[in-house]
Protein backbone atom coordinates (compact mmCIF):
# COMPACT_ATOMS: atom_id res chain seq x y z
CA UNK A 1 0.00 0.00 0.00
CA UNK A 2 1.36 3.44 -0.95
CA UNK A 3 1.66 6.29 1.53
CA UNK A 4 -1.06 8.03 -0.49
CA UNK A 5 -3.47 5.14 0.14
CA UNK A 6 -2.44 4.70 3.76
CA UNK A 7 -3.32 8.30 4.67
CA UNK A 8 -6.73 8.14 2.99
CA UNK A 9 -6.15 9.14 -0.62
CA UNK A 10 -7.18 12.38 -2.27
CA UNK A 11 -9.82 13.49 0.29
CA UNK A 12 -7.32 13.20 3.16
CA UNK A 13 -4.53 14.80 1.16
CA UNK A 14 -6.80 17.71 0.18
CA UNK A 15 -7.72 18.24 3.85
CA UNK A 16 -4.04 18.21 4.84
CA UNK A 17 -3.14 20.73 2.10
CA UNK A 18 -6.05 22.99 3.13
CA UNK A 19 -4.84 22.89 6.74
CA UNK A 20 -1.23 23.44 5.63
CA UNK A 21 -2.15 26.61 3.74
CA UNK A 22 -4.27 27.91 6.63
CA UNK A 23 -1.18 27.55 8.82
CA UNK A 24 1.17 29.10 6.24
CA UNK A 25 -1.11 32.05 5.48
CA UNK A 26 -1.50 32.75 9.21
CA UNK A 27 2.27 32.77 9.70
CA UNK A 28 3.80 36.25 9.59
CA UNK A 29 7.12 34.79 8.43
CA UNK A 30 5.58 33.09 5.39
CA UNK A 31 2.40 34.81 4.26
CA UNK A 32 4.19 37.50 2.23
CA UNK A 33 5.43 34.81 -0.20
CA UNK A 34 1.81 34.14 -1.22
CA UNK A 35 0.47 37.65 -1.78
CA UNK A 36 -1.30 37.90 -5.13
CA UNK A 37 -1.17 34.18 -5.85
CA UNK A 38 -4.16 32.14 -6.94
CA UNK A 39 -4.49 30.09 -3.77
CA UNK A 40 -6.96 27.57 -5.18
CA UNK A 41 -4.65 26.82 -8.09
CA UNK A 42 -1.69 26.64 -5.74
CA UNK A 43 -3.49 24.20 -3.45
CA UNK A 44 -4.51 22.09 -6.45
CA UNK A 45 -0.92 21.87 -7.64
CA UNK A 46 0.20 21.00 -4.11
CA UNK A 47 -2.33 18.15 -3.93
CA UNK A 48 -1.09 16.91 -7.31
CA UNK A 49 2.53 17.14 -6.22
CA UNK A 50 2.03 15.30 -2.94
CA UNK A 51 -0.34 12.82 -4.57
CA UNK A 52 2.30 11.84 -7.12
CA UNK A 53 5.18 11.92 -4.61
CA UNK A 54 3.29 9.70 -2.17
CA UNK A 55 2.44 7.05 -4.77
CA UNK A 56 -1.04 8.16 -5.75
CA UNK A 57 -2.59 8.01 -9.21
CA UNK A 58 -2.32 11.72 -9.93
CA UNK A 59 0.28 13.44 -12.06
CA UNK A 60 1.88 16.72 -11.04
CA UNK A 61 1.31 19.18 -13.90
CA UNK A 62 3.14 22.15 -12.41
CA UNK A 63 6.56 23.49 -13.21
CA UNK A 64 9.75 22.11 -11.68
CA UNK A 65 10.54 23.29 -8.16
CA UNK A 66 13.69 25.25 -8.95
CA UNK A 67 12.29 27.67 -11.58
CA UNK A 68 9.07 28.18 -9.60
CA UNK A 69 10.95 29.27 -6.48
CA UNK A 70 13.90 31.03 -8.12
CA UNK A 71 14.24 34.66 -7.09
CA UNK A 72 11.73 34.49 -4.25
CA UNK A 73 14.41 34.85 -1.57
CA UNK A 74 13.33 31.74 0.30
CA UNK A 75 15.78 31.00 3.08
CA UNK A 76 16.33 27.74 4.96
CA UNK A 77 14.34 29.11 7.90
CA UNK A 78 11.32 29.62 5.62
CA UNK A 79 11.61 26.11 4.21
CA UNK A 80 11.93 24.70 7.73
CA UNK A 81 8.85 26.60 8.90
CA UNK A 82 6.77 25.22 6.03
CA UNK A 83 8.04 21.73 6.90
CA UNK A 84 6.95 22.30 10.53
CA UNK A 85 3.49 23.32 9.34
CA UNK A 86 3.30 20.25 7.10
CA UNK A 87 4.17 17.96 10.00
CA UNK A 88 1.55 19.68 12.17
CA UNK A 89 -1.13 19.41 9.45
CA UNK A 90 -0.37 15.73 8.92
CA UNK A 91 -0.47 15.06 12.67
CA UNK A 92 -3.76 16.96 13.00
CA UNK A 93 -5.20 14.70 10.28
CA UNK A 94 -4.27 11.64 12.33
CA UNK A 95 -1.34 10.51 10.17
CA UNK A 96 0.92 8.24 12.28
CA UNK A 97 4.34 9.61 13.26
CA UNK A 98 6.11 6.87 11.28
CA UNK A 99 4.28 7.86 8.10
CA UNK A 100 4.98 11.55 8.76
CA UNK A 101 8.69 10.67 8.97
CA UNK A 102 8.44 8.89 5.59
CA UNK A 103 6.78 11.93 4.04
CA UNK A 104 9.39 14.24 5.55
CA UNK A 105 12.14 12.08 4.02
CA UNK A 106 10.56 12.71 0.61
CA UNK A 107 10.05 16.44 1.12
CA UNK A 108 13.21 17.61 2.90
CA UNK A 109 15.55 17.05 -0.09
CA UNK A 110 13.45 19.60 -2.02
CA UNK A 111 15.26 22.33 -0.09
CA UNK A 112 18.05 22.13 -2.68
CA UNK A 113 15.62 23.39 -5.33
CA UNK A 114 13.61 25.79 -3.16
CA UNK A 115 16.05 27.56 -0.85
CA UNK A 116 17.88 30.47 -2.49
CA UNK A 117 21.58 29.85 -3.01
CA UNK A 118 21.55 26.10 -2.30
CA UNK A 119 22.91 23.51 -4.66
CA UNK A 120 22.36 19.76 -5.07
CA UNK A 121 24.95 18.92 -2.42
CA UNK A 122 22.91 20.84 0.15
CA UNK A 123 25.65 23.39 0.65
CA UNK A 124 25.33 27.10 0.03
CA UNK A 125 26.39 28.00 -3.50
CA UNK A 126 28.75 30.89 -4.08
CA UNK A 127 26.89 33.81 -5.63
CB neighbours of 49 closer than 8 A, spacing ≥ 6?
Answer: 60, 62
Cα(67)–Cα(16) distance, integer angstroms: 25
**C-alpha 85 chain-centroid distance:** 9
Cα(82)–Cα(90) distance, integer angstroms: 12
What stretch of H or E contains 99? helix 97-107
DSSP 33: G
Cα(102)–Cα(107) distance, integer angstroms: 9
Question: What is the set of domains in the chain, with CATH numbers?
Answer: 3-114 (1.10.490.10)
Q: Indicate if the pLDDT at residue 127 is higher than 70.
A: no
Tens of pLDDT, residues 66-115: 888 888 889 999 999 999 999 999 999 999 999 999 999 999 999 999 99
- pTM score, whole prediction: 0.88
Residue 14 pLDDT level (bands cut at 50, 70, 90) = very high
Nearest CA-CA partner of 51 in 117, 103, 110: 103
Amino acid sequence: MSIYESIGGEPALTAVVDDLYERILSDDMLKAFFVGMNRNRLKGRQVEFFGQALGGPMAYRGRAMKPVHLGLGIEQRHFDRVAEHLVAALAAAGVPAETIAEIAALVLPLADDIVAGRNASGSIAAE
